[in-house]
């Protein structure tokens, strides 16, 4: 009898949260669509582009391939040749636009113009999502974000780290950015991929990995902590997660970092074992003096995880359906929120349903508004910033910085993420389709 009462109570609570989620989502959609209305240059074009290529699978693949190869092309001939081969064949080649573009490429003058145009287009797109690693640009973006009432976190984009030389260069880039922000009296907020701190990062080479990563990580973490800023560790591919978590825990166990409060990890809800892993994180947080941030995301390596596991004949570590990931995201949010203030929750999703769910749950638990921080990606989540602020929540913008080449893999990933079936960030598109 008592059991039935409890389950009944849980059921009612769920119902109430669900009801409230719908209300909030509606409100969010209304506010976001207000932000969307003006044809805002680059963003508007991106939307148009994304919509166009989303409809055409083949074109989407070719566009992705072009964005991927573009930074490696060094002359107009190379650019033209790729444009021609990527877009001149296939079903869309019959369209007047493509025939025009490709046909024009035959003339020397047009050839250069076309290469320039393509360069400008890709550059503009990359520029929309990333910031060049130049001091004035970085400082400007910090001011910009703060003007909107949001905080920021920088992610320094890089090529793959293939050697110790390159790992050192990568570390130096971080230290330079840290120095820059400190010079302007800004707190240093960074998100970090540990695999870029050691070229032989591998669970098999555990000892060497721990030693080398810890060395470079401490050099970066120290000034971040001293500036009063924050550090978020990306959990990357599933194969590396255990080792990354181990290194993160080791850092925190050191006296120097024991009281470092703005330390967190990105936690991926698309992993089938994400709830078990979150419990482990919470356990670690409980044993710690300072609190711990959990940045809840859906996960950015979905294709990779599914393919790598498929090729190796390993169990697929991620949910294969979009709805499963969304549900897991909500379950993980429940666990994280219920453990406030031991863990603090950051929400790294643009999906309005997911965002609304977290707000509803937060209200239900009676937590203060600043118990959760909502995080958006630079350039992509811009329309979300004002609504979230108006509703009274803290907002942080994630900014990738790097040169074109470095920005490109990031851009490719974002593009893919936002046009794929598993997309978690393609909120506006979904909103429109629904209406």
Q: Smallest distance from the beta carbon of 130 to another protein, in angstroms? A: 17
Among 297, 298, 292, CA closest to 280: 292
- In sequence order, what E strands does 21-101 have? none
C-alpha of 45 from chain center? 21
Which CB sits closer to another protein, 21 or 267?
Answer: 267
Q: Smallest distance from the beta carbon of 11 to another protein, in angstroms? A: 38
Which CB sits closer to another protein, 209 or 424?
Answer: 209
Distance separating alpha carbons of residues 87 and 92, to the nearest angstrom? 8
Binding site for another protein (CB under 8 A): 65, 68-69, 72-74, 78, 81-82, 85-86, 159-160, 162-166, 199-200, 202-209, 238-243, 312-314
Q: Smallest distance from the beta carbon of 231 to another protein, in angstroms? A: 23
Which CB sits closer to another protein, 165 or 280?
Answer: 165
Q: Which residues pair with 434 in a beta bridge?
A: none
Task: Enumerate helices (H) and strands (E) in the chain, giving the number of each.
Answer: 17, 9
Cβ-based neighbours of 166, under 8 Å, separated by 6 or more: 159, 199
Which CB sits closer to another protein, 66 or 357?
Answer: 66
Distance separating alpha carbons of residues 115 and 111, to the nearest angstrom? 6
Q: Smallest distance from the beta carbon of 72 to another protein, in angstroms? A: 5
Q: Smallest distance from the beta carbon of 279 to another protein, in angstroms? A: 17
Is-contact 191 399, C-beta < 8 A?
no
Which CB sits closer to another protein, 57 or 341?
Answer: 57
Q: Smallest distance from the beta carbon of 164 to another protein, in angstroms? A: 5
DSSP 3-state assignment of 40?
coil
Radius of gyration of the chain (CA): 23
Q: Smallest distance from the beta carbon of 408 to another protein, in angstroms? A: 10
Residue 219 in tokens: 């050099």
Which CB sits closer to another protein, 22 or 210?
Answer: 210
Among 216, 170, 177, 235, CA closest to 399: 177
Which CB sits closer to another protein, 96 or 204?
Answer: 204
**Please, is 61 exposed, middle or buried when counting C-beta atoms within 10 Å of its C-beta (0-12, 13-18, 19+)?**
middle
Q: Smallest distance from the beta carbon of 91 to another protein, in angstroms? A: 16
Backbone angles phi, psi at 230, to 5 degrees: -130, 155
Cβ-based neighbours of 67, under 8 Å, separated by 6 or more: 122, 125, 408, 411, 412, 415
Q: Smallest distance from the beta carbon of 311 to another protein, in angstroms? A: 9
Which CB sits closer to another protein, 77 or 338?
Answer: 77
Which CB sits closer to another protein, 195 or 424?
Answer: 195
Is-contact 118 73, C-beta < 8 A?
no
Which CB sits closer to another protein, 165 or 287?
Answer: 165
Distance separating alpha carbons of residues 163 and 430, to the nearest angstrom? 42
Among 334, 421, 281, CA closest to 21: 334
Which CB sits closer to another protein, 210 or 342?
Answer: 210
- Binning the chain into helix, strand and coil, the percentages to the nearest 5 are 65, 10, 25
C-alpha of 52 from chain center? 23
Q: Smallest distance from the beta carbon of 409 to another protein, in angstroms? A: 8
Distance (Å) of CA 115 to CA 45, 71, 123, 253: 19, 12, 12, 53
Q: Smallest distance from the beta carbon of 222 to another protein, in angstroms? A: 25
Among 221, 283, 275, CA closest to 247: 221
Residue 106 is classified by DSSP as T
Which CB sits closer to another protein, 86 or 364?
Answer: 86
Q: Smallest distance from the beta carbon of 172 to another protein, in angstroms? A: 15
């Amino acid at each position: 009898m008592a059991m039935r009462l409890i389950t009944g109570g849980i059921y009612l609570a769920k119902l109430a949260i669900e009801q409230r989620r719908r209300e909030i989502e509606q409100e969010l959609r209304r506010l976001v669509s207000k932000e969307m209305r003006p044809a805002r240059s680059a963003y508007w074009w991106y939307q148009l582009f994304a919509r166009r290529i989303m409809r055409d699978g083949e074109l989407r693949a070719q566009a992705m391939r072009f964005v991927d190869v573009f930074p490696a092309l060094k002359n107009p001939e190379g650019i033209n040749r790729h444009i021609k081969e990527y877009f001149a064949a296939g079903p869309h080649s019959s369209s007047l636009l493509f025939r025009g573009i490709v046909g024009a490429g035959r003339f020397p003058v047009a050839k250069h113009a076309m290469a320039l145009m393509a360069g400008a287009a890709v550059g503009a797109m990359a520029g929309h999502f990333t910031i060049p690693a130049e001091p004035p640009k970085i400082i400007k973006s910090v001011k910009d974000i703060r003007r909107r009432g949001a905080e920021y976190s920088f992610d320094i984009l890089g090529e793959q780290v293939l050697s110790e030389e390159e790992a050192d260069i990568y570390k130096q880039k971080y230290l330079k950015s840290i120095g820059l922000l400190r010079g302007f009296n800004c707190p240093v907020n960074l998100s970090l991929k540990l695999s870029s701190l050691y070229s032989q990062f591998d669970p098999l080479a555990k000892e060497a990995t721990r030693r080398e990563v810890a060395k470079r990580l401490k050099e970066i973490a120290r000034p971040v902590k001293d500036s009063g800023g924050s550090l978020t560790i990306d959990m990357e591919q599933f194969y590396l997660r255990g080792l990354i978590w181990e290194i993160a825990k080791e850092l925190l166990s050191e006296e120097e970092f024991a009281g470092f409060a703005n330390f967190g990890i990105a936690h991926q809800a698309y992993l089938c074992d994400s709830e078990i892993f979150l419990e482990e994180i919470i356990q670690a947080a409980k044993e710690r003096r300072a609190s711990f941030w959990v940045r809840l995301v859906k996960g950015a390596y979905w294709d990779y995880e599914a393919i790598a596991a498929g090729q190796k004949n390993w169990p697929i570590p991620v949910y294969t359906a979009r709805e499963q990931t969304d549900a897991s995201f909500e379950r993980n949010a429940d666990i994280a929120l219920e453990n406030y203030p031991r863990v603090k929750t950051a929400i790294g999703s643009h999906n309005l349903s997911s965002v609304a769910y977290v707000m509803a749950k937060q209200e239900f638990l009676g937590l203060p508004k600043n118990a959760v921080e909502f995080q958006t990606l630079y350039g992509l989540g811009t329309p979300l910033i004002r609504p979230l602020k108006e509703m009274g929540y803290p907002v942080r913008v994630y900014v990738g910085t790097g040169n074109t080449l470095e920005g490109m893999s990031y851009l490719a990933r974002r593009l893919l993420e936002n046009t794929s079936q598993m997309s978690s960030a393609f909120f506006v598109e979904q909103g429109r389709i629904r209406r």
